[in-house]
Amino acid sequence: MTEVCKEERGPAERWSLRSGAVSVEILSLGCGIQSIRTPDHSGQSADIVLGYEDVEGYLSNPRYFGAVVGRVANRIAKGRFVVDEKEYKLSINNGPNALHGGLKGFDKAVWTTEAVDNGVKLSHSSPDGDEGYPGNLNASVTYRLEKNTLSVLYYAQTDRTTPINLTNHSYFNLAGQGTPDIYDHEVTISAESYLPVDDTMIPTGEVKPVDKTLFDLRKPVLLGSRLKELPGPGFDHNFCLCSPGDPPLERKCARVVHPGTGRVLEVSTTQPGVQFYTSNFLDGTLKGKGGAAYSKHSAFCLETQNWPDAVNQVL
């Protein structure tokens, strides 16, 4: 049995879903996950996602805590693409590239809401030319909480050919949000290959096997020791679950364990990739729930999505 209730929170609504000992709070601002509370092995409950206690914190939300990002999650090289022989130019907001839908993407919108069985459906309309993208687009995201499973169903319909790539950008720390780092987490990602990136985090075009590399996470890996070995600030890479265009079959893609609390996060998806990100660009300046300073490597993201810059790359 899932309990669903709604309350007004200033510029947005907050929906609370509860099933057994697990509770999830969803905001209409950014269609975001504000909190996920779940017990540890001794029954002590904690919030395992980073974010803000007040809705006002999500009005700017520069690191996309909990939000649904779009029209296109991840990066588009140089903010340009060609569709039907016409070039489109997007807002540049990440070095030389476009990121997560632009300056005012779906994470900044207040979505409309309606109750559904065991959850809530949120909807948003994006007009032709929004952030440079062609076509009128209607999108919806449905969150359902059943027992210990939170499902997220994305839907989009447009009147013109346009790229679309929606994902949720929740930051997880299974020890509880506000814990300084994720070095004691064990990570498994069921991917045979990954996408190397250039110095602006755009895929190079190579699909590289993970075998005999530091990106081989097919067996549980202690994150702290692997991050010490990994060149650069951390993981911010697409792990390939299948090829784009393959049938959209649901598959388990990732499992993260925190031995200290016994909490386990398992992720399944129909998408061809999952972006594994270790909060490399948090630097302690953002203060979140309980006044916690969110620092580098204080959380991880598992963003199920299409491969980055897919609109410009034939792989």
49 within 8 A of 36, measured Cβ to Cβ: yes
| Alpha-carbon Rg for the chain in angstroms | 19
169 annotated ligand-binding residue: yes
171 annotated ligand-binding residue: yes
Per-residue tokens: 102: 């632009």
The count of other CB atoms within 10 Å of the CB of residue 188 is 17
d(CA 225, CA 234): 11
142 within 8 A of 113, measured Cβ to Cβ: no
206 is annotated as an active-site residue:
no
Residue of 169, 185, 237, 258 marked catalytic: 169
303 within 8 A of 168, measured Cβ to Cβ: yes
Q: Is the peptide bond before 71 cis (omega within 30 degrees of 0)?
A: yes
303 is annotated as an active-site residue:
yes
d(CA 280, CA 224): 13
280 within 8 A of 296, measured Cβ to Cβ: yes
Which of 129, 83, 77 has its CA nearest to residue 104?
A: 129
236 annotated ligand-binding residue: yes
> Letter for the amino acid at 69?
V
218 within 8 A of 148, measured Cβ to Cβ: no
118 annotated ligand-binding residue: no
CA 189 and chain centroid, separation: 15
Residue of 13, 131, 186, 303 marked catalytic: 303
Residues making up the annotated binding site for beta-D-galactose are 74-75, 169-171, 236
Residues making up the annotated binding site are 74-75, 169-171, 236
**Catalytic positions, please?**
169, 303
